[in-house]
Structure 1
Amino acid sequence: MERFSRVLVINPPSPPGFVSNKDSMGGFGQLFPPGATYMPPLDMVYLASFLTEKQVPVEVLECLGMELDLAHLTAAAARACGGEAEGRVLAVVRTSTPTLDWDLSVCAALKAQTAGLRLAICGAVVTHVAQRIQETGAVDYLVRGEPDDVVYELVQGRALATIPGLTYLGTAGWVENPPRLFDKNLDRLPFPKWELFPYTRYQLPKSSTHGRVAFLPMITSRGCPVGCHYCPYPVGQGGVFRYRTAQNVVDEMEHLAHDLGVQYILFRDPIFSLNQRRVLEICNEIQRRGLTIEWKCETRVDCLREETVRAMAQAGCTGINFGIESAEVEIQANSGRKPITQEEFIATVRLCHELGISTFGFFIIGLPGDTADTILDSIKFAIDVRTNWVQFTAASPLLGTKLRDWAISNGYVPEHEQDYVNSYRVMMGNENLSKEQVNGLLHFAQFIGTNFINRRGILKDTHAGTRVYRLGRQMADALTYRTAQVIYALGRWYFARRLAAEA
């Protein structure tokens, strides 16, 4: 017999003063200032779609896109429970690292104001904060790992003790079942049923496309075997690369374009081109079907042969995000990353630009082994590599990562420290720099990135067609490049004097 007759899939409202993006940082999430674009947690979209495909009645309360505050959420949950027997409605609430306490308060409010509602909480962080969640008494179940099958088996009435990946409150206290293995057959999952979500409200940031276009995210693979110590993807998705077939991927792209009017797809895979043969198959299938749609992905430079980049450009790819992290191969190696040289980055970025693909470079400040000189060298490389956009973030010891283990063992963060908002805020120093020194260098990097490389989005559209706009962009590129070099030189002089005085 079914345990629950109805499921509410809930992405809670953002904490006051922030916009939450729970899909970022490998599902561990980040908080951004008001005005940031909304991005739905893809695991919630998949969960709602999976349950719907299994004929489970589902109501989605995606509070960001639907603009529901706490009062409206609790009222909507109460309405959804109306007419149902007590204890027959399950709410599955998505949480993340920086929103955990807020989300638990939302769960407590739902429980207090909706009699008989049962609550489950899920998200990549749940496994690592289970005791903290249990102590609040705000939820009845913890869903660890990918939620689809766990929630379905819970709804269907399977014996609690036999559901892998579930933690539940038994008669003698909390019971943690064995973990559930990651699903390797991703083709079996239904396509996201975006009609359950306010999908027209989701927008791309300026760095991804030109103007306002109909957009949705996709994920075609999960897991990352590279194992960089700072990366949350292997923690939340596992270290085994699991992927959908090319046919399945392009089927979904065609559905989004033809049925939902989507013009732009943002692939959320950790490393989109880890299997380059699959990428070539995807690109060939897009062209074979005559599918016209723009898309962007994230990958590693050493997972891109020239043949692959050219095929991607011909198949509609207009943007690639690259994790550069540090210009120094020694610093990359210190963090468990397979090193990539500056020359490799420059060559790939140049090829992308020749083919009309815009590029975005990610850098991390304050990694193990970083000094003021290596960080400043990375800032200079961020100017010289000439990606269209850059992002500088702080090395963040996220729960479950090897970087966190290293930071705790060296006393850079306390073991209980979970005061994480986003990776733009410095949480620790390293063996060469204090937290305050890392913060100063990060702010300098962000100043150059925001004002001179990214230019606050001014004249940054690489796809604008008018001759006047292109000329203006070229002049702005040349001017801000030279200005960034001057500002960098002044900054290097300043930090040399400042750090010498502090020594």
Structure 2
Amino acid sequence: MELPQRPKEDRFVKPGAFRQLCEQISRYPGVAEIPVLFVYAFDPRTRLGPFFIHDRILIPGAARAVPAALYAAGFRKIRVVLQSWNPRVRPSRALLDGDPIELLLVSSMQIHSAEAYRLIEDAWELGDSRPLILAGGPKAIYQPWDFYGLGPDGSRGADVVVCGEEYVLLELLDRILQDRLPGEPLRKAFQRVRARGLLEDIPGLVYRAEDRPGPPESLIYTGPQRLLQDLDELPLPIASLGLFEPPHNNRELSSRPLSPDKFGKYAKILTILSTRGCHFRCHYCPIPAYNQFSFRTRSPESLVEEITHVKTLTGINTFFGADDNFFNDRELVERIFQTMAQAKVGGQPFRDAIFFSTEATVYDVHKNQDLIPLAREAGLRALWIGVEDLTGTLVKKGQGPERTRTVFSLLRKAGIAPMAMIIHHDGQPLWSWKGLYGLLNQVNFLRRVGALTCQITLLTPSVGSKSYEKLFEEGKVLESVGGKPIEEYQYDGNHCVATASSSPIIRQLNMILGYVWFYNPVNLLTALGQVDTFWKSRLECQLLGMAGIGQSLYRMRNWLGRLMFGKIERHQSAPRPRFPLLSPESLLGVPSLAPAVGH
């Protein structure tokens, strides 16, 4: 189901509250000396498709935003670990300036959750000396119960799951630090605060009522988070650039983090936040409900300031806007492009100094097509466009072939690379003799109208979306293949885990053939003769795409074999929470925003 919503009058944090909270936390004694380890989980089994190298060179937003919020709140002993860079680092072996970790934060998407569980279990190896463990990220927001019941007897797990953004995390830490005694371990202060019921009025938390051996009988859920409406209140994630662990294969942390001037040696692309929310309500997407059907923004000046600082400090000039639909609000996007077009860094205008890319829909770009030349002046070099399905059979978002052709043509004319994203779904054939319904027909069309890349995903159950339960209840979601249960990393859009077809291997092979139709030696040779603005980029995309297909086939060989010859078993109902979620009020018989959820 979609996430529950707060009442409209109580949906947002009060203006100015975020910065006030940071100032308040920074005044607590000893905050700057608390050793903090933030780990962004990554499962290498998801390294598939034509963009397989990006996990090594792209820095996700949470890995900068959360440490930046902690830094703004006065924490100084922070180390950021990317598992894609440091796959063997263990919290139980981590020391900062010779001190063991006192606060462990693990952020994870659903597809990387196996690694997140492993990190949490490892921290428990420290026994009573273990750190306070907080879990966050998309997995935590939608399925917080999965961070409990870990270990041989189910006793292990996170102390608190933060089902929200930075403000929720800081509210939690503020409440703990208010009650913390001088020199007292953070986890001990947390246990006392929890026992006194002092966490129950902080929306966006899930935690055990008390620590007992074995798995919990139930979990306390304090209700949906309040959102930060003005994204300008967030601190610029500049300080976090000097907190990252250098890439290595050791279990322990290095003595020093990467300095900002060395950061660009490993990181090539930074995600950057400019907006949150989307006005479309696609049945397979959880984003509108997560944002409580709001559209949140930051000022163009703040965006320019962040880009300028990052480029100056690190030399990194490539930024990916982590937007759900950048062209959602015309007035805002026009102001952003105008401000960026007038900005300079290192004496150069943004047009020449930076490479900015983001996501949008065909409909919204077409509606605002007059802004495309201005977008290029602002430094926009590539636009990832959610075409989804050219015929509108899967979802109608105003795309259509002619509108797509027009948008791609205008983008190319302005020097902006169109990057297509489509979804292969049930009912869509590999090829159709007429029209554009076939997958290969659409791939061929997109290449001919100028797409430099094409991302093909399989329609997959997305937790928090409107269609999530329906796919399970209709018996479309695979439970096991060849006697092996489906794992969470396989919900990545690259594995066929949901289809009504009696032969899921056909859907899987269709996706692979779609990629081969776009990335192949013939198209590479054709690209050699297309001498234009995108000549070099087009060749690079073809080469990386072919390499990605090759390594994906190798990595998926066992999966393909089981899918072709193994027994297929399917879910008959949607998975329920592993442990019931109870609101603090419900324990007293009082109605609450946090509905009780059973098994």
Secondary structure of 1:349's counterpart equals helix
Q: Which amino acid aligns with 1:398?
A: S
Are residues 1:106 and 2:126 paired?
no
Deviation at 1:142, TM superposition (A): 0.6
Matched, 1:246 2:260: no
- Structure 1 pair 394/16, CA: closer, same or farther in 2 (3 Å)? closer
SS of the equivalent of 1:135 reads coil
Equivalent positions of 1:366-385 (< 5 A) are: 366-367=425-426, 369-372=427-430, 373=432, 374-376=437-439, 377-385=441-449
Q: Does the Cα contact within 8 Å between 1:363 and 1:390 map onto a contact in 2? A: yes
Instruction: Provide structure 1 residue ranges, at least 5 long, that are not aligned to the other structure.
Output: 21-29, 205-211, 481-503
Question: How many residues in Structure 1 have an aligned counterpart in Structure 2?
Answer: 445
Judge conservation of contact 1:18–1:31 (CA < 8 Å) in 2.
no
Q: Is the 8 A contact 1:53 1:190 kept in 2?
A: yes
Report the residue type matching 2:317 in the other structure.
Q
In the other structure, the counterpart of 2:131 is 117
Match of 2:92 among 74, 77, 90: 74
TM superposition shift of 1:202: 7.6
Structure 1 residues 145-164: aligned runs within 5 Å: 145-146=164-165, 148-157=166-175, 159-164=198-203
Task: Kindly provide the CA deviation profile for residues 303-361 of structure 1, in whole angstroms up to 9, marking residues without a partner as x.
Answer: 1222211110122211111111112123323xxxx231110000010111111111110
- Structure 1, residues 366-409: CA drift from partner, whole Å, max 9, x if none? 15x53454333423433433311111111111222223223112
Given the alignment of the two structures, is residue 191 of structure 1 paired with residue 236 of structure 2, yes or no?
Answer: yes
What amino acid maps onto 1:94 in structure 2? S
> How far has the Cα of 1:65 moved from its partner?
6.3
Given the alignment of the two structures, is residue 171 of structure 1 paired with residue 189 of structure 2, yes or no?
no
Give the conservation status (yes or no) of the 8 Å contact 1:426–1:439: yes
Superposed CA offset, 1:153-181 (max 9, x none): 22223522222111122238631112212
The two structures have a TM-score, normalised by structure 1, of 0.77
Q: 1:31-73, CA deviations, whole angstroms, 9 ceiling, x for partnerless residues?
A: 98688534333123111111111112341231346535134x4
Contact 1:226 1:239 in 2 (8 A): no
Q: Which one scores higher on RCO, CA 8 angstroms, separation ≥ 6? A: 2
Structure 2 SS opposite 1:126: helix
Query: What is the alpha-carbon distance in structure 2 between the residues aligned to residue 461 and residue 10 of structure 1?
Result: 46
1:283 maps to amino acid: F
For residues 141 and 152 of structure 1, the distance between their equivalents in structure 2, rounded to whole angstroms, comes to: 13
Q: Match of 1:327? A: 390
- TM-score, normalised to structure 2, is 0.66
Which letter does structure 2 place at the counterpart of 1:260? T
Evaluate the alpha carbon distance shift between residue 187 and residue 35 of structure 1 in structure 2; reply closer, same or farther with a 3 A threshold: closer
Q: Which letter does structure 2 place at the counterpart of 1:6?
A: I
When residues 17 and 307 of structure 1 are mapped into structure 2, their CA distance, relative to the original with a 3 A threshold, is: closer
Specify the code of the residue in structure 2 equivalent to 1:175. I
Provide the residue aligned with 1:355 in structure 2. 414
Letter in 2 for 1:302: Y
In angstroms, what is the RMSD of aligned CA positions? 3.8
Establish whether residue 312 from structure 1 lines up as the match of residue 375 from structure 2.
yes
> Is the 1:227–1:239 Cα contact (8 Å) retained in structure 2?
no
Given the alignment, which residue of 74, 95, 99 partners 1:55?
74
8 Å CA contact 2:163–2:204 kept in 1: the answer is yes
- The one-letter amino acid of 1:123's match is G
Q: Does 1:218 align with 2:272?
A: yes
Identity in percent: 18
Q: Which residue of 2 aligns with 1:126?
A: 140
Query: CA distance change for structure 1 residues 33 and 316 in 2, over 3 Å: closer, same or farther?
Result: closer
Q: 1:120 to 1:461 in 2, by over 3 A?
A: farther
Cα contact 1:320–1:358 (8 A) shared by 2: yes
2-structure distance, mates of 1:460, 1:270 = 35
CA contact (8 A) 1:185 1:244 kept: yes
Unaligned runs of 5+ residues in structure 2 are 1-27, 151-155, 177-197, 245-257, 480-484, 547-599
Q: 1:31 to 1:57 in 2, by over 3 A?
A: farther
Residues 327, 34 of structure 1: CA spacing in aligned structure 2 closer, same or farther, 3 A cutoff? closer
Instruction: Kindly provide the amino acid, as one letter, of the partner of residue 445 in structure 1.
Output: G
Partner of 1:491: none
CA distance in 1, matches of 2:38, 2:167: 17
- Change in Cα spacing, 1:35 to 1:180, as seen in structure 2 (3 Å) is closer
- In the alignment, is the contact (CA less than 8 A) between 1:166 and 1:177 conserved in 2? yes
Distance 1:15 1:288 in 2: 41
Q: For 2:56, what is the secondary structure of its paired residue?
A: coil
Could you give the per-residue CA deviations for residues 183-216 of structure 1, whole angstroms, max 9, x where no partner exists? Answer: 1111100111322235778889xxxxxxx99542
Q: In 2, Cα distance between the equivalents of 1:120 and 1:31?
A: 33
* Structure 1 partner of 2:497: 427
